[in-house]
Amino acid sequence: MYIYLITNLINGNRYIGYKTNTPTESPMYYGSGSLLRKAIKKYGKSNFSKSILEQGISDIDTLNAREIHWIREYRTYINSNDYNLNIGGAGCRYGKQVYHDPTNSSISRVFDRDSTNIPKGWIKGDSKQTRDKKSTSISAFYKTEAGKILRSDQSNRVAKQKIGNTNSLGRKWWYHPITLERVNLKGDQKPPKDYIRGYKRTKTQTKRSVQKTTTKTTRSQRNPK
């Protein structure tokens, strides 16, 4: 198992991830991060390089911890232009799932979600030992200067989103007070005439929501657990 670094040769943006086999077994694997995949689609795979930061890692617990370490070292989660969307150490990847041996918390492996080779008795998810390691690594990260910058940036983003009904993509909802028609515009786009800032539910939507809630309640009453 190893940790790798992907670099965009055009703009220098980077991505750090891990792979559970060896570099020779997956030379063309460039990661599954959503931002990275969009960038590869835009610029072409030939405009990206791959380098190995660390290899020969024997267990998933250490792999998770080392991914967090390298993402923190390269600041690929802090820098807004890089492609990492979290600080690493995730127990799950696209189409993959971690299982651990409940009798030995130091043993865990990553399997395909539909795998039939999962040992009998193994439990889905990280072991308590792994979760504790992640928690310690994350806590240590937020105490660093980079972590403080990130926390401040996250607070500012949340504050901005709360002002003017702006979502995480910097877009805003506007609605017409009479027709109740809605539009979702970018932050710098001007709304149509007479539209008001906010998200107004139509009577039909409210009615449907109530009907769904009532249906769910009725079903639960008919089929109590």
DSSP per-residue codes, 29-82: -----HHHHHHHHHH-GGGEEEEEEEE---SHHHHHHHHHHHHHHHTTTTSTTS
* Sequence-separated (6 or more) residues with CB below 8 Å from residue 23: 2, 4, 52, 55
**What pLDDT is recorded for position 223?**
59
Sign for the CA dihedral angle at 83, 85, 89, 94 comes to negative
**What pLDDT is recorded for position 5?**
96
**What pLDDT is recorded for position 102?**
83
CA distances in angstroms from 188 to 165, 191, 201, listed in the order given = 14, 10, 24
**What pLDDT is recorded for position 136?**
75
**What pLDDT is recorded for position 153?**
60
**What pLDDT is recorded for position 72?**
83
Hunting for tokens 């806590």 — which residue is that?
A: 139
> According to DSSP H, which parts of 56-202 are helical?
60-74, 128-143, 145-162
> Residues spanned by CATH 3.40.1440.10 within the chain?
2-162
- Global pTM reads 0.48
**Strand partners for 3:** 18, 54
Tokens of 100: 């651990």
Q: How many CB atoms lie within 10 A of CB 89?
A: 24
Q: Could you list the mean pLDDT of each consecutive 10-residue stretch along the chain, which spans 225 residues?
A: 95 92 91 87 94 90 83 79 76 59 74 74 78 72 66 57 50 76 79 78 51 54 56
**Strand partners for 184:** 173
CA distances in angstroms from 54 to 23, 60, 124, 196, listed in the order given = 10, 14, 27, 54
CATH 3.40.50.2030 fits domain 2-162: no
Q: How far apart are CA 83 and CA 81, in angstroms?
A: 7
* Contact between residue 9 and residue 56 where contact means Cβ atoms under 8 Å apart: no
* Contact between residue 125 and residue 109 where contact means Cβ atoms under 8 Å apart: no
**What pLDDT is recorded for position 125?**
76
**What pLDDT is recorded for position 131?**
74
**What pLDDT is recorded for position 150?**
59
**What pLDDT is recorded for position 163?**
47
**What pLDDT is recorded for position 16?**
94
